Amino acid sequence: MAATAGPDIVDNGLVLALDAADQNSFRGEATTNYYTTPETLTSGRTGTSSGGNYTDFTTGGPNNGRFTRWVRDTALSRNNDWDWEINYSNTGLSVGQTLNVSFYARCPNGTLSSIVLRNPDAQGGTFNLDTTWRRFNVNLTYGGDYTSTPFFRFNRGHSAAYVNGATYDLANIQIETKSYATTFTTGTRGTTVATGGGWADLTMTGNNGELINGVRESSDNLGSLSFDGTNDRVECAHNSTLNITSSITMESWIYPTAYKTTGGGGGMIITKLSYYMELAGSGVVRLYFYGLSSEGYHNGTVNVPLNTWSHIVGVRDQINNLVRIYVNGSLDREISSITGNISSNTTAVTIGSYSGSSYEYTGRIANTKIYNRALTATEVQKNFNETRSRFGI
């Protein structure tokens, strides 16, 4: 699968991954990667390598992809320290234009505390690293003294210890232009991935989302989609990978701005009609699974607050005959002795509405995932911890 935006999340069994933070999630936005050699990072570096050695790896990066490792083998002073320059194409760029730079990085042996990205005349950001692959995202401005041969530069963070053996890894560098808060409506651009808009499935299984009735993107928290509570929704066409009848996990980061208290249901987060997860009018997470011995409603007990980001997860564990609800990484409720298979159907997966006809959700959704298995409590906690800093938790 492709790298999901954010960090080292659980990917075993992942069949749908939509994330508004990933630069390639929206085909309606510019998706040219101005860094022209992303698959072999060494091809793009032109800066000095004094004091360090570079090695490219074909596996072991995010989602077991490529990455480049730098290892410091001499102890140099700060004024003679290593940097790494990354060239990028300037075709079609205008001076003063904003570029979004995203990349994965980690410090595998824990000897490096931070790196600095410069553009090259001004600092763009300082990023703290640890042993886990994490995705970082920063805006830089194209221009200055280097418009003919543009580049940006990674430097060792000045808070880092200058010691032999200091190591860090980089992967999946993207340099792209992007405009925010664009309405995806017929007449201004297509609403599907194929026609220039839409939400691309990062699992590479093709479960792309069609943005319907003017769903808008917000730049907050690296990116999210805004639903108006009237008729906005995202639809992922039926696919056999989504027709799950046994164990399943539904997961999402949501920012509700109102509870749905009319029309007999709450605000729908994810549904395929045979299974769904919604935010009830009372503010709790609610699950329903057609075909089980107790179909629902399975209500949580924790109130999901308005105007705040929350991580919600619904699990059907067929092996252990359980249904579980998690909020912000913690178990909210477990319902036992539930047997049977989830009903099969050929309807689309819909986000933000119940099949486009009711239960409209009001607020923002940053990402949505579906797994074809039951995540464990440890895995739910891992996904929450790996993404919580993006949402200020």
| Dist. CA 351–CA 295, nearest whole Å | 20
Q: Where are the alpha helices (DSSP H) in 213-365?
A: none
Per-residue pLDDT of the chain (393 residues; tens, 9 = 90+): 233 334 567 888 999 988 877 544 554 444 566 665 544 555 445 444 445 667 888 888 876 778 888 776 555 544 445 556 676 777 777 787 777 777 778 888 765 556 666 555 555 666 777 777 776 766 677 776 566 667 676 766 544 444 445 677 888 777 776 543 333 333 344 455 555 457 778 776 778 888 888 787 776 777 788 898 888 899 998 999 999 999 999 999 999 999 988 766 789 999 999 999 999 999 999 999 999 999 889 999 999 999 999 999 999 999 999 999 999 999 999 999 999 999 999 999 999 998 767 889 999 999 999 999 999 999 999 999 988 888 888
Q: Does residue 64 contact residue 133 with C-beta atoms inside 8 Å?
A: no
All domains of the chain in start order, with CATH: 30-176 (2.60.120.260), 209-391 (2.60.120.200)
Which residues, in sequence order, are CB contacts of 239 under 8 Å at separation 6+? 205, 206, 207
pLDDT of residue 317: 97
Q: Which pair of tokens denotes residue 100?
A: 């979004």
Q: Over the range 33-63, which residues count as b (16 or more CB within 10 Å of their CB) and which as e?
A: bbbeebeebeebbebeeebbeeeeeeeebbb
Q: Which pair of tokens denotes residue 384?
A: 């929450």
- Closest Cα partner for 82 from 49, 43, 114? 49
Q: Would strands 123-128 and 275-279 be described as parallel, antiparallel, or unpaired?
A: unpaired
pLDDT of residue 30: 43
| Dist. CA 16–CA 348, nearest whole Å | 13
Which residues, in sequence order, are CB contacts of 26 under 8 Å at separation 6+? 20, 197, 198, 199, 200, 217
Query: Whats the size of the chain, residue-wise?
Result: 393
Q: Model's pTM, two decimal places?
A: 0.66
Q: Over the range 274-305, which residues count as b (16 or more CB within 10 Å of their CB) and which as e?
A: bbbbbbbbebbbbbbbbebeebbebbbebebe
Angle at CA 267, nearest 5°, toward 266 and 272? 100
Q: Where are the alpha helices (DSSP H) in the chain?
A: 377-387
Question: Per the omega criterion (within 30 degrees of 0), is the bond before 88 cis?
Answer: no
Q: Is 382 helix (H, G, I), strand (E, B) or coil?
A: helix
pLDDT of residue 330: 97
Q: How far is CA 259 from CA 228, 229, 267, 311, 359, in A?
A: 12, 9, 7, 16, 10
pLDDT of residue 79: 44
Q: Does residue 4 contact residue 19 with C-beta atoms inside 8 Å?
A: yes
Q: Is 316 helix (H, G, I), strand (E, B) or coil?
A: strand
DSSP state of 256: E
pLDDT of residue 344: 95
Helix (H) or strand (E) holding 115: strand 114-118
